[in-house]
């Protein structure tokens, strides 16, 4: 198969997964355990929000038609109280932020904008009707949808769920993601490798990335570069919701992963992407199960996970979308690359500025750990000057 562009590869993943996904079963969890989960049903306001006309400031509730002018303070209302009387002509009520605006008042003047002498306030400026008041129901009407199904629950959603009284949340069951590292050279992390061996860092990195994506990693035993062993592990991996394979997808004689997947009559959507790191990236499906063959070099594995596998996890977890958080940062120095491939290069972003981090290729974990972002170098362009804005993705 010919290489496809980064953009085509990513949209293929999003399209195929979204089109063919089977949503996970639903379960209920206490609100305190809901952070990071995906909402399985829409959440509605249980009453108008705010439930009454609410003051946004500390100050005085007044009739705007009385201002500029004087008013007699007839009482005080603070959050958690209700003021029984109605404000009449040239009357005011001292009010605290969050307190209900008394009947008769249509605005709140800020404390700083009045002078008070005994129980009389004076305001020298005109006051607009509605000033400093959030009217009842302005944020949401009772029964209206405040959160859509498919939303990942973060701290702000927790706050809203709490506000509308949802103490038990209906969420999708987290995904099980199988992780299979392949390679004769791999030894466990606690082993002392011989010179020609390396520790299996990819399985660890991927497990951490899967957890960060809100799913549950299921790490399989390493497969040596032999068809029967890879076959047996892939079969096990296909019982999870998604299978991530690391290594064995390049063009070498011992890169057997694609051959084994063909034995499962896999459908391949692509097996090469015009990008760096991560060119030998494989994406496909066996029956209803999606898999990724991620290139084995550690930086390639991690970057392709972030750019592709994470999107698949998001959508399979029930999310509606999986946007890449691309931001623009100002280049601190001139920058060049060889056009033809979209490059995701380690970079340091600070105060809106981006500086490429020198690195020695897709095995160079040390440099990669110095970076806090990937800088995106367009495949069609060769050079950029200091001061230009470049897209980056924070790590
Ligand atoms: P491969 O894609 O199988 O040709 O692997 C390319 C290179 O990535 C290997 O030569 C290793 O240096 C490295 N590599 C492969 N798998 C792992 C792994 N699980 N952990 C760390 N490095 C790996
Ligand atoms: Mg290998």
- How many Cβ atoms are within 10 Å of 138's Cβ, its own excluded? 14
Rounded to 5 degrees, what are φ and ψ at 103? -55, 145
The DSSP code for 308 is I
> Do the strands 289-294 and 242-246 form a parallel or antiparallel pair, or are they unpaired?
parallel
Give the number of whichever ligand sits closest to the CA of residue 220: 1
At 22 the pLDDT is 94
Q: 234 CA to middle of ligand 1, Å? A: 18
Angle CA(375)–CA(363)–CA(249) in degrees, nearest 5?
Answer: 95
In angstroms, rounded to a whole number, what is the distance separating the alpha carbons of residues 4 and 275? 9
The pLDDT tens digits of the residues spanning 299-313 come to: 999 999 999 999 999
pTM of the model: 0.93
Q: 188 CA to middle of ligand 1, Å? A: 13
At 259 the pLDDT is 96
Of 196, 245, 298, the one to substitute when testing ligand 1's pocket (max ligand atoms within 8 A of C-beta) is 298
In angstroms, rounded to a whole number, what is the distance separating the alpha carbons of residues 145 and 86? 34
Q: 301 CA to middle of ligand 1, Å? A: 9
At 189 the pLDDT is 97
The pLDDT tens digits of the residues spanning 236-256 come to: 999 999 999 999 999 899 899
Task: Write the residue with the smallest CA distance to atom 17 of ligand 1.
Answer: 296
Rounded to 5 degrees, what are φ and ψ at 290? -85, 150
- State CA 317 to chain mean position distance: 13
Pocket of ligand 1 (CB under 6 A): 181, 183, 186, 198, 200-203, 246-250, 252, 255, 295-298, 363
| Regions of the chain with pLDDT less than 50 | none
Of 183, 244, 257, 303, the one to substitute when testing ligand 1's pocket (max ligand atoms within 8 A of C-beta) is 183
Q: 370 CA to middle of ligand 2, Å? A: 26
Using CB atoms within 10 Å of the CB of residue 1, give its burial: 0 to 12 exposed, 13 to 18 middle, 19+ buried. Answer: exposed
Give the number of whichever ligand sits closest to the CA of residue 301: 1
Of 296, 360, 366, the one to substitute when testing ligand 1's pocket (max ligand atoms within 8 A of C-beta) is 296
Q: 298 CA to middle of ligand 1, Å? A: 7
Give the number of whichever ligand sits closest to the CA of residue 180: 1
Give the number of whichever ligand sits closest to the CA of residue 363: 1
Of 247, 255, 360, the one to substitute when testing ligand 1's pocket (max ligand atoms within 8 A of C-beta) is 247
At 290 the pLDDT is 98
At 270 the pLDDT is 97
Q: 363 CA to middle of ligand 1, Å? A: 8
Q: Is 282 in contact with 257 (CB distance < 8 Å)?
A: yes
At 101 the pLDDT is 97
At 257 the pLDDT is 97
The pLDDT tens digits of the residues spanning 155-175 come to: 999 999 999 999 999 999 999
């Amino acid at each position: 198969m010919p290489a496809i562009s980064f953009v085509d590869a990513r949209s293929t993943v999003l399209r195929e997964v979204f089109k063919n996904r089977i949503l996970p079963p639903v379960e209920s969890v206490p609100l305190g355990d809901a952070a990071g989960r995906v909402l399985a049903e829409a959440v509605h306001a249980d009453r108008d929000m705010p439930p009454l006309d609410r003051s946004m400031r500390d100050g005085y509730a007044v009739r705007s038609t009385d201002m500029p002018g004087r008013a007699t303070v007839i009482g005080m209302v603070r959050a958690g109280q209700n003021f029984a009387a109605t404000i009449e002509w040239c009357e005011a009520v001292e009010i605290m932020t969050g307190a209900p605006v008394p009947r008769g008042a249509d605005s709140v003047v800020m404390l700083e904008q009045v002078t008070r002498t005994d129980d009389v306030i004076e305001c020298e400026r005109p006051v607009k009707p509605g000033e400093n008041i959030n009217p009842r129901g302005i944020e949401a009407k009772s029964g209206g949808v405040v959160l859509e199904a498919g939303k990942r629950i973060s701290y702000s959603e927790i706050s809203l769920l709490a506000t509308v009284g949802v103490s038990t949340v209906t969420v999708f069951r987290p995904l099980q993601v199988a992780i299979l590292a392949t390679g004769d050279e791999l030894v466990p992390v606690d082993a002392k490798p011989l010179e020609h061996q390396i520790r299996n860092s990819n399985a660890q990195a991927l497990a951490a990335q899967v957890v960060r994506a809100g799913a549950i990693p299921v790490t399989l035993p390493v497969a040596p570069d032999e068809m029967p062993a890879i076959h047996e592990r892939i079969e096990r991996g296909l019982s999870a919701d998604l299978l991530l394979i690391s290594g064995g997808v390049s063009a070498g004689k011992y890169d057997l992963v694609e051959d084994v997947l063909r034995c499962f009559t896999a459908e391949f959507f692509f097996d090469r992407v015009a990008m760096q790191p991560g060119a030998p990236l494989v994406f496909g499906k066996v029956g209803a199960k999606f898999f990724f063959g991620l290139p084995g070099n550690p930086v390639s594995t991690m970057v392709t996970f972030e750019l592709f596998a994470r999107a698949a996890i998001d959508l399979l977890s029930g999310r509606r979308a999986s946007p890449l958080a691309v931001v623009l940062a100002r280049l601190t120095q001139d920058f060049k690359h060889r056009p033809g491939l979209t490059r995701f290069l380690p970079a340091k972003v600070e105060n809106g500025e981006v500086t490429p981090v020198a690195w020695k290729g897709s095995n160079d974990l040390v440099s990669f750990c110095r970076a806090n972002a990937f800088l995106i170098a367009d495949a069609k362009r060769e050079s950029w000057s200091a001061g230009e804005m470049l897209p980056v993705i924070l790590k």
